[in-house]
């Protein structure tokens, strides 16, 4: 398999395996499949392309500083949505352990890199710990510097760890976009 095809298929396979693994956990709930997540991000009929971002050591350090979070590695995958050849935006899927169980979050950025949507795709902590969609709506278009608990974002009583995990994933996606994707576009 050519390297370019392999690099495009590995993130999709990893995502499929991740969501499939979540589906077997009887405690949690998977709210959206991968296909449904992309439809939420870009609408029906959008073409989806993988955009693997291979960060240099310097970019990794800049992302971690901006996001106030440690990256799991130097590969980050965005999914680009297109319709009729026009870029609709970027989506990232971030998974993180909240307390003892995982949360998988869809993060959607505009073509200019602004947060336009975030949605929980799978959540395996008790349901009362899941942040509501109305809370996620308060984050729209906020810059990465304002996406910190009690520094621009209100917490949710009883869901503090879930809120922290969600904010960290969103900050990572925004920081990777700003450091690696936006700088390559200019």
DSSP string of 26-86, one letter each residue: SSSEE---HHHHHHHHH-TT-EEEEEEEE--HHHHHHHHHHHTS--SSSEEEEEEEEETTE
pLDDT mean over 7-20 = 46
The token pair that represents 172 in the structure block: 């990572």
C-alpha to C-alpha distance for 146 and 23, rounded to whole angstroms: 33
**Contact indicator for 41, 138 with CB cutoff of 8 Å:** no
Query: 183 pLDDT band (50/70/90 cuts)?
Result: confident
Query: 27 pLDDT band (50/70/90 cuts)?
Result: low
Q: Which has more confidence, 118 or 2? A: 118
Q: What is the pLDDT of residue 185?
A: 62
Query: 4 pLDDT band (50/70/90 cuts)?
Result: very low
C-alpha to C-alpha distance for 140 and 32, rounded to whole angstroms: 20
Q: Render pLDDT for 42-76 as a digit per residue (tens, 0 to 9).
A: 999 999 999 999 999 999 999 999 999 999 999 99
C-alpha to C-alpha distance for 127 and 124, rounded to whole angstroms: 8
C-alpha to C-alpha distance for 16 and 43, rounded to whole angstroms: 20
Q: What is the pLDDT of residue 149?
A: 78
Q: Which of 7-16, 41-50, 136-145, 173-182 has the lowest mean pLDDT?
A: 7-16
pTM over 0.85: no
Question: Helices 34-42 and 3-23: crossing angle, nearest 10°?
Answer: 110
DSSP single-letter state for residue 145: G
The answer, yes or no, to whether residue 21 has pLDDT greater than 90, is no
Q: Render pLDDT for 77-109 as a digit per residue (tens, 0 to 9).
A: 999 999 999 999 999 999 988 888 889 999 999
**φ, ψ (nearest 5 deg) of residue 102:** -85, 155
Instruction: Find all residues with CB under 8 Å of 114, minimum gap 6, and list them.
Output: 141
Q: Render pLDDT for 101-139 as a digit per residue (tens, 0 to 9).
A: 889 999 999 999 999 999 999 999 988 889 889 889 999
């Amino acid at each position: 398999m050519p390297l370019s095809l392999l690099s495009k298929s590995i993130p999709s396979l990893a995502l499929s395996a991740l969501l499939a693994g979540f589906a077997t956990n009887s405690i949690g709930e998977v709210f959206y499949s991968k296909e449904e997540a992309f439809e939420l991000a870009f609408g029906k009929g959008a073409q989806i392309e993988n955009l693997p971002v291979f960060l240099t050591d310097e970019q990794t350090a800049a992302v971690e500083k901006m996001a106030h979070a440690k990256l799991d590695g130097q590969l980050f995958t965005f999914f680009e949505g297109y319709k009729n050849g026009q870029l609709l935006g970027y989506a990232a899927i971030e998974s993180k352990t909240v307390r003892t169980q995982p949360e998988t979050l869809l993060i959607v950025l505009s073509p200019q890199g602004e947060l336009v949507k975030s949605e929980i795709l799978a959540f395996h902590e008790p349901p009362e710990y899941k942040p509501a969609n109305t809370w996620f709506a308060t984050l729209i278009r906020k810059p990465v510097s304002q996406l910190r608990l009690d520094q621009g974002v209100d917490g949710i009583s009883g869901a503090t760890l879930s809120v922290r995990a969600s904010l960290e994933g969103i900050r990572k996606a925004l920081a990777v976009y700003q450091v690696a994707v936006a700088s390559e576009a200019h």
